[in-house]
Amino acid sequence: MRIGIELDIGVRKLEIDPEYGYGFRKFVEYALRLQAQRERRLSVNSTKMPNCVQRITLLFSQVAIIPQTVYNEECVKKKEKVGFMQGRIIKGIAGFYYVSAENQQVYECKAKGIFRKEKLKPLVGDFVELEILDEEDKKGNVIAVLERKNTLIRPAVANIAQALVIFAAKEPNPNFALLDRFLITMERQKIPVVICINKEELFQEEEREKIQDMYEPCGYQVLFTSAKREQGIQKLREVLQNKTTAVAGPSGVGKSSLTNLLAPGIQMETGEISKKLGRGRHTTRHTQLIELEKNTYLMDTPGFTSFYVEDMEKEELRFYFPEFSPYEGTCRFLPCTHTHEPGCSVKEALENGKISKERYKNYVDMYRELEEKRRY
């Protein structure tokens, strides 16, 4: 069996095929320490190497080394015994990362210094390589972050299939401007969103219909639940099935209460609504990946009371309102910002009741905000 391993001697950067690399990393690091010899061809005594290495030859050049190695196939099958594994970060607290490894054990890890140098921070949900330092105490180091499917800044998570944004019917009252900002962030990442309105027992029927009319025509699924009465929980389970879902929303809307119903063994801390501030107190202080069942994960995240749309030009904002899409290219003036131009098809649809007035107002407010930010 022959496998190529690419090494850049100048920066001591090594890239090892993840399928075979665990058993040979120690060997490669040993070979790098011998680079001082700077010979054109270097043969290493296999008796000093891990048992899985029968022979290795390194071909040096000025820029890179591309060795060809003959491996013992049995060692590849037992790579977990060498001290390196793959896993997924399920929690991160104060610089410590808790990794659920492929052997079904959870290791407390720190990130290697190379992450600070490369300005890369491991996130909850990341698939990583870890180096086992102490098997008995379950200690290790995160040595590499595998390729990410997607990342979010707020909440700071990675590799999610969808987002579940939870707002309350009352106590605290729903903030649709905040909700729309969150939806724009997900639209930019092309992450599907499910909107969940908790405490539905506090809703009047017309208020329920208002939210459905605002968001369902835009393509968003809207669910209504009551953690207090345990209503709508089964429907929520079906939406989460076989996906990794990030839960987000303001404090006090019942995220932790719903999580406790979905995963009874977890029992997240819950809190009361502040009567003085009219909003929830923070009970979730860190992001945590919770396994509900096989292939179904929930990321419980801290609540937020504000949300800013950053790193966006005002001209692109309109593309993240799905209800505008049917009217793109049909306005009198192109490109049209849908704010002040005469003959605007979006504003005409607004007057005809085809677009939510509240959603459109939030769009204009965000457009003006981005316009002011660009000016300064």
Q: pLDDT grade, residue 27 (50/70/90)?
A: low
Q: Using omega within 30 degrees of 0 as the cis cutoff, is the peptide bond preceding 264 cis?
A: no
- Contact indicator for 77, 22 with CB cutoff of 8 Å: no
Taking only the tens place, the pLDDT of each residue in 253-306 is 988 899 999 988 776 555 454 444 344 444 555 788 999 988 899 998 886 655
Which residues, 6 or more positions from 370, have their beta carbon under 8 angstroms from its beta carbon?
309, 312, 313, 314, 317
- pLDDT at residue 37 greater than cutoff 90: no
Contact 58, 65 (CB under 8 A): yes
Average pLDDT, stretch 183-192?
A: 92
Its pTM stands at 0.71
What's the CA gap between 102 and 140, in Å, rounded?
A: 14
pLDDT at 17 over 70: no
8 A C-beta contact, residue 167 and residue 107: no
Could you tell me the two tokens for 1? 């069996």
Q: How far apart are CA 92 and CA 244, in angstroms?
A: 17
Is the confidence at residue 169, as pLDDT, over 50?
yes
- d(CA 58, CA 362) in angstroms, rounded, equals 62
CB 133 within 8 A of CB 139: yes
Say if residue 289 is exposed, middle or buried (CB neighbours under 10 Å; 0-12, 13-18, 19+). Answer: buried
- For 309, the 3-state DSSP assignment is coil
* pLDDT tens-digit series, residues 219-234: 999 999 999 999 999 9
pLDDT tier, 49 (very low <50, low <70, confident <90, very high otherwise) = very low
**How would you classify the pairing of strands 96-101 and 106-111?**
antiparallel
Is 202 a residue whose pLDDT tops 80? yes
Domains and CATH numbers, the chain: 2-79 (no CATH), 83-148 (2.40.50.140), 152-300 (3.40.50.300), 314-375 (1.10.40.50)
136 burial level (CB within 10 Å; 0-12, 13-18, 19+): exposed
Residue 100 has pLDDT above 90, yes or no: yes
84 to 20, 66, 154, 356: CA distances (angstroms): 11, 22, 31, 54
pLDDT at 84 (0 to 100): 86
Q: From CA 204, how far away is CA 200, in angstroms rounded?
A: 8
Better pLDDT: 100 or 116: 100
